[in-house]
Structure 1
Amino acid sequence: MLYIIMAYDAPNSEEPRRTAHAPHMAHLDKIAAAGGKIVLAGPCLAKDSPDRQIAGFFGSLIVAEFASLAAAQEWSDTDPFLTAGVFEKVIVKPFRQVIPQP
């Protein structure tokens, strides 16, 4: 089943984001290794700008397939961005894709 992970950045999280980026990307690879699939993932920009240095971030969004809500929550709870203090709040919920049809 698909799950949405909506993470909101903590204030002043730019440096922890840089430091934890490589471990976070490796953690994303664990989804596929566990038999899941990432539908989409990426940072949410704070401003409407193609230059991410100007735009900054306010969080991240992941839509991915997990075996269960508990598995999605466990993955989220161990994400290096959360443990490094990049995220201050993370919401994990079931998601039903309608468009485009899977």
Structure 2
Amino acid sequence: MWYVIYSEDVENSLPLRKQTRAAHLERIQGLADQGRVLVAGPCPAIDSEDPGEAGFTGSVVIIDFPSLEEAKAWADTDPYALAGVYQKVVVKPYKVVLPL
């Protein structure tokens, strides 16, 4: 089943994001290579594709896991979570309706 993982950043998270970005992306890419990632990306702090030093306010990923427990465990061990980038993480089941 698909699970949406919505994470909210701490204030001024950009330096922590930069330090941990490679490990964070590598971990997601591993699941993408298995066809398990529907979408993944950050939420810019301003209305711009490249927010520069404004940084990001959080992230959204939708990933296929066997269970909610496994999705939560994966989210808890994300490099951004371990580095303190996130102040809050919500994991919920997700049903794809569109596109078909």
Question: TM above 0.5, one fold?
Answer: yes
1:69 deviates by 0.6
Question: Is 2:83 the partner of 1:78?
Answer: no
Aligned partners of 1:54 and 1:14: how far apart in 2?
7
User: Helix, strand or coil: the match of 2:49?
Assistant: coil
The amino acid across from 1:70 in the alignment is E
User: Helix, strand or coil: the match of 1:4?
Assistant: strand
Q: 1:7-56: per-residue Cα shift (whole Å, max 9, x none)? A: 000112111100000111122134357x5600000001111123220652
User: Helix, strand or coil: the match of 2:47?
Assistant: coil
Unaligned runs of at least 5 residues, structure 2: none
Matched residue, 2:18 = 18
Matched residue, 2:28 = 28
Identity, in percent, stands at 43
The amino acid across from 2:91 in the alignment is V
Aligned partners of 2:73 and 2:88: how far apart in 1?
15
Matched residue, 1:59 = 58
Aligned partners of 2:32 and 2:99: how far apart in 1?
21
Query: Paired residues, what number?
Result: 100
After TM superposition, the structure 1 = structure 2 runs for residues 30-45 of structure 1, keeping only pairs within 5 Å, are 30-32=30-32, 37-45=36-44
Matched residue, 1:7 = 7
Runs of 4+ in structure 1 off by over 4 angstroms are: none
TM normalised by structure 1 equals 0.89
The amino acid across from 1:47 in the alignment is I
1:62 deviates by 0.2
RMSD: 1.6
Unaligned runs of at least 5 residues, structure 1: none
